[in-house]
Amino acid sequence: MKELSSQILKKIKNQYIPSLPLDNDMVLPNYEGLSLANIPCTIANLLNVPDFGSPHLDEDITEHLDGPYEKWCCSL
């Protein structure tokens, strides 16, 4: 799997709010595809379930996921 840490971290660190000064070690969350909040929708998307909540993970991440995936259910 391709090493994405430096590429993704650069995208995350480039996000800022001009009126909000941050120290050098502070990073704002990126809920538009580069956050843990994006994982549930990504899983739903991989299983062809309608999107919900936050958007799915950034394409730079999801393009490296192998597929196809199947959803299945079992009864206990």
Q: How many whole angstroms separate alpha carbon 38 and alpha carbon 48?
A: 16
Residue 45 CB neighbours (<10 A): 18
pTM summary value: 0.70
Q: How many whole angstroms separate alpha carbon 24 and alpha carbon 51?
A: 35
Q: For residue 64, what are its two tokens?
A: 């490296």
pLDDT digits (tens, 9 = 90+) for 12-49: 888 888 888 888 788 888 888 999 999 999 998 888 88
